[in-house]
Amino acid sequence: MYILPDKLQIIERQNNALHQLNEIAAISDISPLETLRKALEIGKEYFGLEFGIVSHIVGEDYTVDVQSSPPDTLFDGQLFELGSTYCKTTLEIDDVLAITDVTKSKYIGHPCHRDFNLVSYIGAPIRVNSKVYGTINFSSAQARHLEYNKIDDEFMKLLSRWAGSFLERQSVLDELSLEKQKFEMIFENNASGTLLIDDSCQILMTNKRFCEIIGFSKSELVGQNAIIYYLDDISYNTAREKILNTDKSSYINMEHQLKRKDGKLIWCKFVGSQIELTKDSTAMIWSILDITAQKEMQEKLEKQATMDYLTELYNRRYFTSRLEEEVLKIKRDKNSTTSLMIFDLDKFKQINDTLGHLTGDFVLKKFADIIKKNLRKTDIAGRVGGEEFAMILPNTDITNASILANRIREEVSNKIITIDKKDINFTVSIGLTALSYDDINSDSAFARADNALYMAKAKGRNRLEQK
């Protein structure tokens, strides 16, 4: 089964929003206030709501730090009573609060609806320096057409972490401008990891937060070369090269995968600048944020966009893009060889009709497992239709590809699946072709393999044909 179009659109929309967030975070010539406002505009577009707010909450005072809203409605710095907002409930549950239509929810009669006529809302707490700072929230006077779902909740949490990290980072960068006598106190108590490293990459100072992030004690870090927390010499030297080739008057932004003392791999965001230690020596001061959770969320969303959720093989769109790459490779090098095979489960409709779709899904997953077992590291496999699968075999001629195809075919025909005490045996037909220099694009290669598959079906199924 394909990923549902509306789900795919949600995933694509999230990926676009993440890309935009990364882009605005990298822009250095706009103020922090306008950066947050642009983030709110991204969130408004994603959720389809009118108002976006980053609030700062102290006691019962709710201050609009920054907003994106229709003209003549809200303004930055506007003050409200916390109790008149949905954000009070958001802080009470300490989680995402999502209200599609307040008139059809348990929050009917809420002061925010009564006083401000806000019908739809989604918001989450923002933490800065491990403490609740306020909220990031979006709302509208109209009910939202779509119900909020788990994907929306995850994206809202990602936005709140992004906003919290952004505010943390701005706080750190502001602290760097404080006078020298306050430096050590700020350095040690910073909620972000902080490092001071000299020109030879020796660690001069570190704070307790970075020790927590990386798992080493101060005594184990200070005096050591920074290579101690890198994965290998390559990643260490790559970072050094970027630092050496960056204008010394500029901030340096880098993301690195680091290795903790316990061997666990983590992702960290480094923001650094050069400072003058003495008249004759300089050092780099780094602010470090652990962005592992953000990276994992991003990887999860990217996986959802490329994988078939049932079989955990690639979906048709991603598979086709990889096939296009192989076609271009053949055009660049006539001597390279790549084979393409398409599989179709024989009489699969009969399994669905007689035993039910759950059984059919189980059969599809079992076939996908057989494909995975026969994959080499360089091979690419995908589900390209309901019961249709395909494989790309780089650097494999059609003779060797046919050996693999027949091995898979025989393994399928010999496999018996037992479901609810019923034994199920199924077979597969296979069409095989080799990519050609004359292929205009992936469609022509697909069509040729599909014709071979049609021949296999016509000649009695459970066989391999090639063109």
Q: Is residue 63 a contact partner of residue 85, using CB atoms and an 8 Å limit?
A: no
Closest Cα partner for 136 from 60, 57, 59?
57
Give pLDDT tens digits for 246-263.
777 778 888 889 999 999
**What CATH architecture is 307-466?**
2-Layer Sandwich (3.30)
Residues of the chain with CATH 3.30.450.20: 183-292
> Across residues 228-244, what is the average pLDDT?
85
Average pLDDT along the chain: 88
Closest Cα partner for 52 from 101, 126, 125, 122?
122
Rounded CA separation 137/160 (Å): 9
pLDDT value at residue 179: 57
Give pLDDT tens digits for 7-38.
666 667 777 777 777 777 666 567 888 889 99
Q: Decide if pLDDT at 5 tops 50.
A: no
Residues of the chain with CATH 3.30.70.270: 307-466
C-alpha atoms less than 13 angstroms from C-alpha of 207 in its C-beta half-sphere: 20
pTM for the model = 0.45
User: Can you read off the two tokens belonging to residue 219?
Assistant: 């005594």
How far is CA 381 from each of CA 316, 390, 411, rounded to the nearest angstrom?
A: 10, 6, 17
Answer yes or no: 387 catalytic.
yes
308 CB-contact burial (10 Å; exposed 0-12 / middle 13-18 / buried 19+) = buried
The Cβ of residue 407 has, within 10 Å, a number of other Cβ atoms equal to 12
Most confident of 163-167, 328-332, 408-412: 408-412
Rounded CA separation 209/198 (Å): 20
Q: Is residue 55 a contact partner of residue 62, using CB atoms and an 8 Å limit?
A: yes
Catalytic residue among 387, 388, 410, 465: 387
- Is the four-CA dihedral 145, 151, 157, 162 of positive or negative sign? negative
Domain 183-292 has CATH 3.20.20.60: no
Give pLDDT tens digits for 280-302.
888 888 889 999 988 888 888 87
How far is CA 279 from each of CA 139, 275, 282, 283, rounded to the nearest angstrom?
A: 54, 11, 8, 12
pLDDT value at residue 144: 92
How far is CA 278 from each of CA 248, 283, 305, rounded to the nearest angstrom?
A: 16, 10, 52
Rounded CA separation 147/249 (Å): 49
- Is the four-CA dihedral 41, 47, 50, 56 of positive or negative sign? negative
Write down the CATH superfamily of domain 5-175.
GAF domain (3.30.450.40)
The Cβ of residue 47 has, within 10 Å, a number of other Cβ atoms equal to 25
Q: Decide if pLDDT at 408 tops 60.
A: yes
pLDDT value at residue 4: 43
* pLDDT band (50, 70, 90) for residue 2: very low
